[in-house]
Amino acid sequence: MRNTPLTNSSITTALSEQGLNAQPWWVEQWMELINSYRFKKRLERAWSYAKEGNVISITFEGRRVHARVQGTEEEPYKVKIWLDVLNDEDWGYVFEALTQKAKWSAQLLAGIMPADIERAFAASGKRLFPFTLQEVRSECSCPDKANPCKHISAIYYLFGDRFSEDPFVLFQLRGRNRTQLLSDLADQRQKLIVSLTKEQMKNKAMIQKSSMPDETPIPIHPAFTKPSLWWSYDSVLSSDLVVITPSLEEDTGLNTAGELPLAEDPRFSKARQNFMNHLHEQGQKFSQQAMLQAMATDE
């Protein structure tokens, strides 16, 4: 896939009108990556190159970016930038994860980068955004041995504008352009729908089969009707295998259960909190009593 190149005039206009303020979060993350570069003077020079029109053109061509930057020489320097691409197996894990959340698909279809998109890429053990600037591959025809040089860094700055216009550029650099991404995502979602439909039909058939009168009913465990059996143990248990420890400070079953969905009555604003405090106090009290009783039990 070959994209329309950004010309010198369009680059300068974008920077002057929009700058780098009030940008989407994925652009801000890219800028944070650039600003983590420790050679600040080189970044200042690169920013001047980007702002003053030294970048003649940028072309997003497939998985690589080609640019020309005017330096001190008569001929502009040639810059190439790319990221490590994900293979088909990695992308398979990504698409499988993406289909698990309808919100991700909806946001991508709307041209919005999901804020937690890295969770989908984590399924493959990869990342969409580079973790460090060293993960961004680049070449420049200038004589500067440092990488990134100021010409490459100038292109980094201008990436922010392009990412703001089209977040799919990041996916393209990782190996899937917009068309491929949305097509593969649609295929994966269709497979998921077919799989869920088959599973539902299978479960329905099993339920119908189990409800037939000639089938032997599955016996119910006695603990369902006698809660006292939950904590019973009839066999001999060696005391050497039992270790009694106090719970963590202020830790009760309520902490494990999480917040209880209690209704609130505006007429009694403190009732809910008082009730929860009472439950915590009782939990700690019974926990201490259980600890004392356990420690006092003869072996």
Burial class (CB in 10 A: 0-12, 13-18, 19+), 101: middle
Under 8 Å CB-to-CB from 279, ≥6 apart: which residues? 254
Residue 39 has pLDDT above 90, yes or no: no
Confidence of residue 4 (pLDDT cuts 50, 70, 90): very low
Taking residues 29-44, report their average pLDDT: 83
More confidently predicted of 21 and 59? 59
Q: Are 178 and 168 in contact (CB under 8 A)?
A: yes
Q: Are 37 and 148 in contact (CB under 8 A)?
A: yes
Reported as a single tens digit per residue, the pLDDT across 198-252 is 777 777 766 666 655 555 556 666 766 776 766 666 766 666 655 566 565 556 6
Q: Are 173 and 83 in contact (CB under 8 A)?
A: yes
Q: What is the pLDDT of residue 82?
A: 93
Q: What is the pLDDT of residue 139?
A: 94
Q: What is the pLDDT of residue 43?
A: 86
Q: Compute the distance between CA of residue 92 and CA of residue 102 in angstroms, rounded to an integer.
A: 17
Residue 103 has pLDDT above 60, yes or no: yes
Alpha-carbon distances of 41 from 29, 49, 260, rounded to whole Å: 21, 13, 55
Residue 14 has pLDDT above 50, yes or no: no
Reported as a single tens digit per residue, the pLDDT across 160-175 is 878 877 888 889 999 9
Confidence of residue 285 (pLDDT cuts 50, 70, 90): confident
Reported as a single tens digit per residue, the pLDDT across 199-214 is 777 777 666 666 555 5
Reported as a single tens digit per residue, the pLDDT across 86-95 is 999 999 888 8
Q: Are 157 and 47 in contact (CB under 8 A)?
A: yes
Q: What is the pLDDT of residue 56?
A: 93
Under 8 Å CB-to-CB from 108, ≥6 apart: which residues? 98, 114, 181, 182, 185
pTM for the whole structure: 0.56
